[in-house]
Structure 1
Amino acid sequence: MTKFKGTGVALVTPFHEDHSLDFEGLKKLIDHTVTGGVDYLVVMGTTGESPVLSAEEKKQILAKCVDYNQQRVPIMVGVGGNSTQAVLDQLDQTDFNGVDGILSVSPYYNKPTQAGIVAHYTQIADAAPVPVMLYNIPGRTMSNIEAKTTLQLASHPNIIGVKEASGNWEQCLTIAAHKPDDFLLVSGDDLMTIALNAIGGSGIISVLANAYPGRFKKLCHGTSKEQQQAAFDLIQLNSLMYLEGNPVGVKNLLKHLGICGDQVRLPMLQASEELDRKIKAALLL
């Protein structure tokens, strides 16, 4: 699935001050990232605050993203959860016109066995009308998709890759060493992109690409020197993005860049004055 190589941007969901959906801000963000050079859009992942969006809002956001994108780049949509049946129901209720893939987070909180994870994803992949990418982020789910489990799922014809955000380098190496040639190993950590690509990775699904798509174009497609410089440029900002939770940091950054507001929905809070000052001081031109 070459359409999902390079930079995927994990789009934020802009809100007005009353926390209603800001579609004008969403259009501006999509235009900013697409013209800036991202390779695909990832809609309503964790960075998009999917846990605090209603089912109707999710339908509206996806429809607007498809409309605003105008088929310029592929679209991947987040469809996941810790109830397999609920995910299957969501698949049935989603309009996949203009959608090219699904990013599905590993079941969180209930901590299934590895066999349970395989069964969960197998049912989703069997039912999904578009290809599925696994999403492994144990820091949020409290359950790791082990390398052998990822490799087992890689044999499913409708599972195309994994977004690896475990921070476990040995696990990433094992997947890279034994995966099928066409199975995508995608970084879930912006600053790990170069290292993962060096062992056979396929790019990044990025938070900071909301703000700096051009730098991520260089990070994934530039010369070796351009890749290194892009990564070095992002060191200070990357550390600030998660101090008060995601997407608090990147939304504050987008506010300073004049792209959209920094409102988030509870239980997240807008960036503190201290974080706001730090991000403003670290802005990249």
Structure 2
Amino acid sequence: MASSEPLSGTSLHGIVPPLVTPLCGRDKLDHEGLSRLIEHVISGGVSGLFILGTTGEAPSLSYRLRRELISRVTDQVEHRVPVLVGITDTSFVESVELAKHAADAQADAVVLTTPYYFPAGQTELTAYVRNIVPELPLPLVLYNMPQLTKVWFEIDTVKQLADIDTIVGIKDSSGDMEYFGKLCDLKSIRPDWSVMIGPETKLAEAMSLGGDGGVAGGANVLPKLFVDHYKANKVTDAEQVAKTHAMILEFHQVYDVGKYASRHIKATKCALSLLGICQDIPADPFHCFREPERRKVADVLRTLGVLPAESVV
């Protein structure tokens, strides 16, 4: 087992999949599926795991299950890669309590986006982060997810928070590349920070702007593809960048299956179930894909050569 060093921005880079939460029923963790998923992504060369994020359906999970997930993931990973734990909640106290459990389980960092439901103003948001940081026993990664929280970490706010040593970076899922570039510019203040991109098709552009890698949901399914894409961008191998980017765009078609916003999570879990890694049950109120949708996801995986033509859907 490798020794665990304190996580810093400079050690957070590459591909860090936002792990799905494998379920086998309501409030029941799919233990075997989780174990296979962890080994699948680690063997694919990822640089860390991010649990209890958006792809992990964190807001839909009970606090009991969130704690069970944290403990099981950290126990199995055994410091082979950093484990980042999402602690975002509508309750300040619950975020802190989950962070304490993550520290007790020997996770490496916590991840916090803007509190949702009641939208905070930027002055309130700045005070919120300053108030919560002293309560957190682990390094903190900020998470900009305005599509779902309805509130941005505006650039001036992030700049004000740059004087907090225990904040080690930020993940941006806005898809606004001008904003992402401004986040990267803040490295002039905090050169130790890591700036990670969420939307997986924008990894090449993000790295060209100074980004350090991606938190790519598709890396649950095809970790090596995303790692190869990151490495090709890192060494500026234009041919390999183009090849891997084209494959990522091909995979991205699974997110067009289905008609609801939940299709991103459904498609990812569906693909994992087709590969025999874990079950495809989402948390309530969502339903898994039915046979017509599963066939469409399977067709994409067959085109990519990761699912045998004769496999049963």
TM band (smaller chain): over 0.9
1:197 to 186, 203, 207: 207
Decide whether the 8 Å contact of 2:28 with 2:65 is kept in 1. Answer: no
Decide whether the 8 Å contact of 1:240 with 1:275 is kept in 2. Answer: no
1:108 to 107, 111, 116: 116
Compute the displacement of 1:106 (Å).
1.3
Instruction: State, as a whole percentage, how many aligned pairs show the same letter.
Output: 28
Helix, strand or coil at the partner of 1:226: helix
Give the TM-score taking structure 1 as reference length.
Answer: 0.94
Matches within 5 A, 1:194-233: 194-222=204-232, 223-233=237-247
Relative to structure 2, which stretch is displaced further, 13-22 or 104-113?
13-22
Task: Please tell me whether residue 139 in structure 1 is matched to residue 152 in structure 2.
Answer: no
Kindly provide the CA deviation profile for residues 198-231 of structure 1, in whole angstroms up to 9, marking residues without a partner as x: 1110101111000111011112112333233222
1:277 to 289, 292, 295: 295
Matches within 5 A, 1:226-245: 226-241=240-255, 243=258, 244=260, 245=262
Divergent runs of 4+, >6 A: none
Matches within 5 A, 1:50-69: 50-69=58-77
Give the RMSD, CA atoms, in angstroms.
1.8
Inter-CA distance 93–261: structure 2 relative to 1 (3 Å threshold):
closer
CA distance in 2, matches of 1:52, 1:178: 33
Q: For residue 208 of structure 1, what is the amino acid of its counterpart? A: G
CA distance in 2, matches of 1:232, 1:178: 31
Decide whether the 8 Å contact of 2:181 with 2:210 is kept in 1. Answer: no
Compute the displacement of 1:18 (Å).
6.2
CA distance in 1, matches of 2:152, 2:164: 19
Match of residue 280 from structure 2: 262
Inter-CA distance 230–175: structure 2 relative to 1 (3 Å threshold):
same
Compute the displacement of 1:21 (Å).
1.1
Unaligned ranges ≥5, structure 2: 1-7, 306-313
Relative to structure 2, which stretch is displaced further, 216-225 or 35-44?
216-225
Compute the displacement of 1:133 (Å).
0.6
Match of residue 152 from structure 1: 160
Match of residue 35 from structure 1: 43
CA distance in 2, matches of 1:37, 1:271: 29
Q: For residue 152 of structure 1, what is the amino acid of its counterpart? A: Q
Compute the displacement of 1:178 (Å).
3.1
Match of residue 183 from structure 1: 193
Relative to structure 2, which stretch is displaced further, 261-270 or 13-22?
13-22
Helix, strand or coil at the partner of 1:266: coil
Kindly provide the CA deviation profile for residues 45-93 of structure 1, in whole angstroms up to 9, marking residues without a partner as x: 1211212222221121111111111221111011112332332233344
Give the TM-score taking structure 2 as reference length.
Answer: 0.86
Compute the displacement of 1:275 (Å).
2.5
Q: For residue 262 of structure 1, what is the amino acid of its counterpart? A: D
Task: Please tell me whether residue 45 in structure 1 is matched to residue 59 in structure 2.
Answer: no
Compute the displacement of 1:95 (Å).
4.2
Inter-CA distance 155–228: structure 2 relative to 1 (3 Å threshold):
farther
Decide whether the 8 Å contact of 1:219 with 1:230 is kept in 2. Answer: yes
Kindly provide the CA deviation profile for residues 161-207 of structure 1, in whole angstroms up to 9, marking residues without a partner as x: 11101122221122222332221111011111111111110101111
Helix, strand or coil at the partner of 2:29: coil
Q: How many residues align?
A: 285
Inter-CA distance 204–230: structure 2 relative to 1 (3 Å threshold):
same
Kindly provide the CA deviation profile for residues 232-253 of structure 1, in whole angstroms up to 9, marking residues without a partner as x: 1011322433654131110001
Compute the displacement of 1:120 (Å).
1.4
